Chains A and B, each alone.
Chain A
């Protein structure tokens, strides 16, 4: 057991971050939980409504379920680009000998650009008139029949607002997974190559199991971040046209700050917290079992 003097210093060092975490994270969550049982417009008095907000959420709000489905699509695209793309780029970085650091910095740069700048950038990229980058490239290769207003077409707008977020943090996950890949013992891979294993087999049997703990962590990070993704879709299309790019988070924001239904918005925020907990639980369940 630790000597008692050490235990005191442990408590002293842990207390400030715990208090910060409690006050900054747990407390607002509990406040939201409490507020979700009320109806409040911000100016007049609070009105206790019990479980009404939850009943409306679960049974009487089609917009919410549309936004939930949209958020899942958003999550899928972000995971594919961030973790999938990050892993791919990290593996590719291992194959080159020079310029790894430069490339990592270049990939990481979008993560430090401010969100409104990214939104403006992509509004221009997707623009139909004046012709933006995507449509110009499509015309240049002869695919002008595919050119369209990506942010106005209800079939493409959701993917269009998910891609910027995926692109933005690709570099971050590349750096993390690259560091994990570096730790894979080279002798194992060399031995496998000598035994005639193909690149794909070496990857799935040797490299990937070795980076599994880091991969789980990045997956959890990316998932919880995507489930709370808000700024780029909000700035690009504000959830439109119709509800085609409405996410749970943008819907919650509008319910609170545009419509003034703070109680109902708190209910949605409680749902988001639970959703994140379930997602993390699922990831741990599925992937931890694989590593055991």
Chain B
């Protein structure tokens, strides 16, 4: 008797969340327009972050928050930081599922974020920026990086960068190689560099995204940005020409010994140290690392040797030489549920002051204000910054922000096998296409 009662109670308790979730959508659809009426009531607002805790973005925003709090007593900006990106993503997705996201939260323009936007849970940022009157100040490339496929803008960019290939000119000379003109040139280049006793390409494989950049290069050059937009929905396949070319290229690089041994467990800082200590010849990295790569922070013997080149083209490329990865970092989304006059007023205040303050840090910002070159900068600092002003229309979107999570996760793990030669290109393509067809259509159906 007692056991049956206990089981019935347990079943009832277990059924409660199911019933509540089945009982229709959670309330009426909220408006995602930026206009809101009412009085500004100061309170503490929270921002769920995935940025380095001592970085320029957080430092600048904290300063601005203090200024705002001085004029609006009772206001405080609480920062909840998780700099390790994979942990952050899981935290943010779990909070989103529980509908417990704070006022502001960081996200890339991923399919998951697109689902949140479709459910009306993020404020329309294009609308907000227009109303504040600062939309024109932003770099188009910075805004476009944050847009979803349908052009909707729901995240505010707070940084900007270009990703280039930093290289050690002395190691190039020793190996007798030149800057590659095409992507295909990179394979013999790496062979010669490896033969001269250095690691050709330093990559921090532990974070997964540094290696995942490489698979995006060939398709972007061969077919433009449309390939990954179709691939992610399952409308294109890895077996198509751009995909196959990319897979073969990576396998060739791996065979040429392009990446350092044990790269898949090399951390971000270790990979950078490999380059800055002169043991690796090339390092693909963005301009957010300028303070470490282009100032006197760089080890002294590298000052004269460091240079950079942008993503090489291919013969008959669909995209131009001035089109490559130019991300505007992880964007800030505004929770529609907790949006009120205070949040709007704070954002208007913050976004008007942010670009200039951030430029003082020396890093490229999301608006067209030129960053202040620090005193410790090497000549190459300004050269790299200048690249940001001459970008083409098309941007290479990193694949980890485009693919559905299951395919992306599989791709990241199997890329290591491909490069290490543990799996053939043909098997890799078959596996990835299988993963894609079983996950992509379901994820993107609406």
Contact = CB atoms under 8 A, between A and B. Distances in A.
Interface string B88-102: 011001101100000
Given A151-B264, A242-B416, A43 B21 contact: no
B116 A43 contact: yes
A13 to B, nearest CB: 17
A238 B261 contact: no
B22 interface: yes
A44 B266 contact: no
Contacts of B414: 242
B43 interface: no
Contact of A257 (B17, B94, B417): B94
A27 interface: yes
Interface size class of A (residues with CB under 8 A): 35 or more
Contacts of A27: 10, 13-14
Interface string B78-114: 0000000010011001101100000000000000100
Contact of A152 (B18, B116, B406, B416): B416
A130 interface: yes
B274 interface: yes
B409 A258 contact: yes
A133 B115 CA distance: 46
A275 B153 CA distance: 47
Nearest to B91: A257
B439 interface: yes
Nearest to A154: B422
Contact of B265 (A30, A149, A255): A149
Count chain A CB atoms within 10 A of each CB in B11, B264, B267, B423 and give the residue with the most.
Answer: B264
Contact of A128 (B18, B22, B261, B423): B261
A59 to B, nearest CB: 14
Contacts of A257: 90, 93-94
Contacts of B116: 43
B13 A152 contact: no
A123 B416 CA distance: 17
A135 B91 CA distance: 36
A238 B86 contact: yes
A22 B6 contact: yes
A56 B376 CA distance: 59
Contacts of B439: 259
Contacts of A22: 6, 10
B93 A261 contact: no
A269 interface: no
B15 interface: yes
A240 B6 contact: no
Count chain B CB atoms within 10 A of each CB in A34, A148, A258 and give the residue with the most.
Answer: A258
A46 interface: yes
B262 A149 contact: yes
A238 B86 CA distance: 10
Given A242-B423, A258-B90, A42 B265 contact: no
Given A26-B10, A30-B10, A239-B413, A45 B265 contact: no
B10 A149 contact: no
Contacts of A154: 417, 420, 422
Contacts of B274: 129
A288 B422 CA distance: 45
Given A154-B417, A242-B423, A259-B406, 9 more contacts: A30-B11, A31-B14, A33-B14, A44-B115, A130-B270, A236-B265, A241-B416, A241-B420, A258-B90
Interface of B: 6, 10-11, 13-15, 17-18, 21-22, 86, 89-90, 93-94, 96-97, 112, 115-116, 119, 205, 208, 260-267, 270, 274, 404-406, 409, 412-414, 416-417, 420, 422-423, 439
Q: Which 7 A-B pairs have the closest CB atoms?
A: A149-B262, A42-B97, A128-B262, A241-B416, A151-B265, A259-B406, A242-B417
Interface of A: 22, 26-27, 30-31, 33-35, 38, 40-46, 123, 126-130, 148-149, 151-152, 154, 236-243, 246, 254-255, 257-261
14 contacts: A22-B10, A27-B10, A30-B11, A40-B21, A42-B94, A43-B119, A44-B119, A46-B21, A129-B274, A149-B261, A242-B414, A242-B416, A254-B409, A259-B406
